Every structure is written in C-alpha cells, then in structure tokens.
C-alpha cells in the first residue's frame, strides 16, 4: 500500500483489532452479505507496512476463515 488513509500505526492496529473482534464474534450468516468487503479489508490489513497491523490482519483472516467454516 502506497498511500494509507490513516497515517497513525497505532490507530491502524486498533482498527485491525476491531475487525478481528467483528469477524470472530458475529454469526457468519449475518456477515455473509458483506464477505467480499470483509475479505478486501482483511487483505488490506495484511498488506500494511506496519508489522503489528499485519499480525492483527492475519488474526482477522484466521478468525474469518474459522467463522465461515462452521
């Protein structure tokens, strides 16, 4: 990612944590309509230049996969 909308790494980490909580705690049937947007969001988190955001993005990806497999 060349130009992040948010320049603060700490804010991006918190946003990534929020995404992880949303995908892990929400019933997948409620997320089904938004899967494409969630996948794009998680993919962007995993491509972030800041390592902590990448780690949290990977956690979000894992939670989304586990939640969707049920």
Judged by DSSP in three states, 56 sits in: helix
DSSP states of 12-45: HHHHHHHHHHHHHHS-HHHHGGGHHHHHHHHHHH
pLDDT of the residue at 28: 93
User: pTM for the complete prediction?
Assistant: 0.87
Residue-wise pLDDT tens digits, 10-56: 999 999 999 999 999 999 999 999 999 999 999 999 999 999 999 99
pLDDT band at 7 (very low <50, low <70, confident <90, very high): confident
Phi, psi of 3 (to 5 degrees): -125, 100
């Amino acid at each position: 990612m060349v130009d992040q909308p948010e320049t603060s790494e700490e804010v991006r980490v918190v946003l990534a944590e929020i995404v992880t909580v949303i995908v892990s705690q929400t019933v997948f049937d409620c997320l089904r309509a938004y899967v494409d947007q969630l996948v794009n969001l998680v993919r962007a988190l995993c491509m972030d230049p800041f390592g902590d955001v990448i780690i949290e993005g990977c956690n979000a990806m894992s939670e989304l996969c586990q939640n969707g497999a049920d």
